[in-house]
Chains A and B, each alone.
Chain A
Amino acid sequence: MKGFTAVLLIWTLISPSSSGGGSGEAWPTHLACRSGGLEVLYQSCDPLQDFGFSVDQCSKQLKSNLNIRFGIILRHDIKELFLDIALISKGSSILNFSYPICEEDQPKFSFCGRRKG
């Protein structure tokens, strides 16, 4: 009896919580590309979901035609979409860059206007 309760107590302490997402686990780190002596890794900061990002070439010198694969489930309609890049090295900011991808008066790409889901 004593042994049984001891095992039960230990099990409740170490069994993982069943709710998943809210338990503070982060999304896994993925590989965006690996070539030319450079390896680029990324991790989703979106608490709701992970996304897919993959680039065909990865050398330190970017060639003119870069093919980017990107996949994400939209949680909102895309009426406006901005790309913000912030490069931080050792705590200090190197680069801050913002580029409008979709705006109401200039939808630059064919996916601008896609809806949630």
Chain B
Amino acid sequence: MALDVGCFLLALLCSASCEVITSLDQTCIEEEANRTYNCENLGLREIPDTLSNATEILDFSFNFLPTIQNGTFSRLINLTFLDLTRCQINLIHEDTFESHRQLSTLVLTGNPLIFMAETALNGPKTLKHLFLIQTGISNLQFIPADNLENLESLYLGSNQISSIKFPKDFPTQNLKVLDFQNNAIHYLSREDLNSVESTDLSLNFNGNDIKGIEPGAFSSRVFQSLNFGGTSNLSVIFNGLQNSTTQSLWLGAFEDTSNQDISSAMLKGLCDMSVGSLNLQKNHFSDFTASTFQCLTRLWELDLTATHLKELPSSIEHMNLLKRLVLSGNKFDELCQINATNFSSLTHLYIKGNQKKLHLGAACLEKLKNLQKLDLSHDDIEDPDCCNPQLKGLIHLQSLNLSYNAPLGLQSQAFRECPRLEILDLAFTHLHVDASRSPFQDLHFLRVLNLSHCALDTSNRHLLAGLADLQYLDFSGNRFPGRTIPKTNLLQTVGSVEILILSSCDLLSIEPHAFHSLGNISHIDLSHNSLTHDSINSLSHLKEIYLNLAANNIGIIPAHLLPVLSQQSTINLSQNPLDCTCSNVRFLTWYKENLQKLESLEGTVCANPPALRGVELSAVQLSCGMTVLGIFFLIVFLFLFTILLIFAAQYILRWKYQHI
């Protein structure tokens, strides 16, 4: 009977423990104590009790709330941001948010809403951002207008809306962003636009193929931005926006939409509008001459990304107001083909991802005296003698991007023409520098230098000479002879550096004093190398820095190196083959006492012994050597053993004497 009951209880216990395990999976992640919670994708049907009453930001997306009403969220009165994306919500009953005075952002994206009560959005003092993307709305009357006076952004993308005419009682004066992407809006009438009473609005019609605009619909209106992306016939837009003003006009096309060519005649419509920035990406020009630019003269920004251009016309008039020009993704053979002289006021020029090999030529940008930023990345540029002839005249250039190009040969003072350079990006562009040359000499203002994966000759100790003010140096992906950084190295000339990245340099070791001259350093990244604990010696003079030693070959860290680690402010030791045996116990104790200094605790796991592989270091409990209790028991045992020996000896002697 007792055995039966015992078996029964055991069975109950087994089934009970299965339940406990599954419910543990369902706790929300507390991203900020008592304030921010993430309950995404937990199959929840109600707000869990584990959430604090003081919760302000809640991501409750991908759960299950078919109906929401005034009891659903009532406990969380401090909510400012609530995300209910894809919660299968059908019905939003009255006063659901009645007690949520502070609610500012409400996301209802992806819910199949069939009903919103008149007072569904009542309660918040200033509801500012409302997301109703993909909620099946076909008529704007579905949205209750009550309490929306402070609404600034309304997102209505991916619905079945055909008319943007707001009901009379809908407050639109404070709207700043109105997003109608991917609806079925084909016609915009004057009545439609008049129902939206705000000024400086950002209006997005991307993915609606607008086929008609009533004349005068946009007349005298002022917008922050207008987006008509994916419109097949742009002449409708150019005619329909007569007499309007907008800071930004986005008329780009896409790979998966078909659109008619733009003709110079169409662009004449711009003379009747006031536009600051125009984007025509991926469109095709039927004719492209100087007259194409006739009505583009008042733009300050023109984006002609991927418009199939091979060259720009040679004498375009009056484009001297243009400040920013984007010519990325086109098919230029030579930089001179852009005829930069037409755009004398340019401050920003982007030619990224040219679809052919771009030849820099000589002095092609000479007239651009005001140029501050130049992007020539991903252009397959190859030049054995860079970069003074090519960059002639760019005296005010502050930022230069030549990354992801083909090999460049850099001479001494390679950037003499751009003495005011502050940011230089050469990542993933192999650089050929002759022995002992200093290509960056005299770049007194350079703050940021990216030399990642440039296949540099690191034995050239003068490589980085002349960089008096450098703050950030990315030197990752460059190899050092013998896989070690020697005591005298090229980093000695950049003593001002604060952030140094030496990851993926295939390093085995770093000699002591290698970083001796880095007096200003605050951040060193040595991740993804093959360093062992020896290299930590080279950091002994550094204090309060961020040190990343992730993904190296560190197993044991001996006790004499622990003070070096204690001196720093943040350390990352994740992805190392750390030893969790008694030979590393001093480090393991230090680790648990210094958790606040350590980054990526979940990734810092044991590799050794096999029984502890994958276990987080912070969870490891080791007892090594003799504890006090062990010593006590040993003494007691030895004492008892001694007494036993004495008795045994007495007994044997007595037995012997008895038998004499």
Contacts and interface: CB of A to CB of B under 8 A. Distances in A.
Contacts of B639: none
B41 A48 contact: yes
Interface of B: 4, 7-8, 10-12, 14-15, 18, 21-22, 25, 41, 61, 85-86, 107, 109-110, 131, 133-134, 155, 157-158, 181-182, 206-207, 229-230, 252, 254-257, 281-282, 305-306, 326, 328-329, 350, 352-353
B22 A107 contact: no
A81 to B, nearest CB: 13
B206 A113 contact: yes
Given A110-B182, A114-B158, 9 more contacts: A1-B4, A5-B10, A9-B11, A12-B11, A17-B18, A106-B306, A107-B252, A110-B206, A110-B230
**4 closest residue pairs by CB, A with B:** A117-B110, A117-B85, A117-B109, A8-B11
Nearest to A22: B25
A105 interface: yes
Dominant SS among interface residues on chain A: loop
Given A5-B4, A8-B8, A117-B85, A110 B22 contact: no
Contacts of B85: 116-117
Contacts of A110: 182, 206-207, 229-230, 254, 256-257
Nearest to A106: B305
B157 A115 contact: yes
A96 interface: no
B15 A5 contact: no
Contact of A17 (B12, B21, B329): B21
B305 A9 contact: no
A117 to B, nearest CB: 3
Given A9-B10, A12-B11, A108 B254 contact: yes
Interface string A45-73: 00010000000000000000000000001
Contacts of A109: 254-256
28 contacts: A1-B8, A2-B4, A5-B7, A8-B11, A8-B12, A11-B15, A12-B11, A12-B15, A12-B18, A13-B14, A17-B21, A19-B22, A19-B25, A105-B328, A106-B328, A107-B252, A107-B281, A109-B254, A110-B207, A110-B230, A110-B254, A110-B257, A115-B131, A115-B157, A116-B85, A117-B85, A117-B86, A117-B134
A107 B353 CA distance: 14
Contacts, number: 89
A18 interface: yes
Given A1-B4, A5-B7, A48-B41, A113 B181 contact: yes
Interface of A: 1-2, 4-6, 8-9, 11-13, 15, 17-19, 22, 48, 73, 105-117
A5 to B, nearest CB: 4
Contact of B22 (A12, A17, A73): A17
A4 B5 CA distance: 11
A1 to B, nearest CB: 5
A113 B329 CA distance: 20
Contacts of A17: 18, 21-22
Contact of B86 (A19, A73, A113, A114): A73
Given A117-B85, A117-B110, A8 B61 contact: no
Contacts of B4: 1-2, 5
A11 B18 CA distance: 12
B254 A107 contact: yes
Nearest to B40: A75
A115 B8 contact: no
Contact of A108 (B14, B157, B282, B350): B282
Contacts of B252: 107
A5 B26 CA distance: 30
A102 B157 CA distance: 18
B420 to A, nearest CB: 25
A5 B11 contact: yes
B326 A105 contact: yes
Contacts of A19: 21-22, 25
A45 to B, nearest CB: 17
Nearest to A101: B255
A71 B131 CA distance: 22
A53 to B, nearest CB: 16
A2 B7 contact: yes
Contacts of B282: 108
Contact of A106 (B155, B229, B329): B329
Nearest to B305: A106
